[in-house]
Amino acid sequence: MAGPVSASSSSSGNCWVIWLSFAGGLVLSVTPMPEFMQYGRPLWLALLLTYWTLYLPHRVGMTTAWLLGLALDVLGGTLLGQNALVLALVSFLVQLLQPRLRMFHNWQQSLVLLVVLGLAQLVQLWLYVLAGHRPPPTLLFLLPALVSALLWPWLFVILRALRLRLRVG
């Protein structure tokens, strides 16, 4: 009986890995980039949130997404709640699709994430326009969803290895 208790206590002690990855995602999300690369900035927090929600739904969910979104709103100087709503939507959709997503290969997950993150970008654009800004004249606002979907297989491999090696759970 003592074996399972010690295994769960050692794995629950490694939740710092999740929060450290989110801190890194926040830093990457607000790090200055050249103007031409700004349009294709990956949605780092959405990708990290997707991974942890997909594989540790008992630890990371919509509340975590909302708090991370508020932190990103404060760091990025955007309308308070804008990123929080978008990240909560991503978390909700990943939780909704979780049984299917876990069975897919990485490239299939990338295609689903392209749709989910594209939808998140559309909601982001809608909130941007509601705040009184002019919409961009092209579909460049969807480029971060495409770049993020292309990065997913590599990020998945890195986070999976980290999760298994450190027994995060």
What is the average per-residue pLDDT within 7-11? 46
126-156 pLDDT, tens digit per residue, is 998 998 888 887 889 999 999 999 999 999 9
pLDDT for residue 72 is more than 90: yes
pLDDT for residue 9 is more than 60: no
20-40 pLDDT, tens digit per residue, is 999 999 999 999 999 888 889
- Give the confidence band of 54 by pLDDT, cuts at 50, 70, 90: very high
What is the average per-residue pLDDT within 26-55? 94
User: What burial class does residue 109 get, using C-beta atoms within 10 Å of its C-beta: 0-12 exposed, 13-18 middle, 19+ buried?
Assistant: buried
Residue pair 54/98 in contact (Cβ under 8 Å)? The answer is yes
pTM: 0.90
Q: Of 16, 10, 8, 28, whose CA–CA distance to 155 is shortest?
A: 28
Q: Please, what is the average pLDDT of the chain?
A: 91
CA distances, 88 to each of 112, 120, 127 (Å):
17, 10, 14
Share of the chain above pLDDT 70, in %: 92
H, E, C per residue of 76-100: HCCCCCHHHHHHHHHHHHHHHHHHH
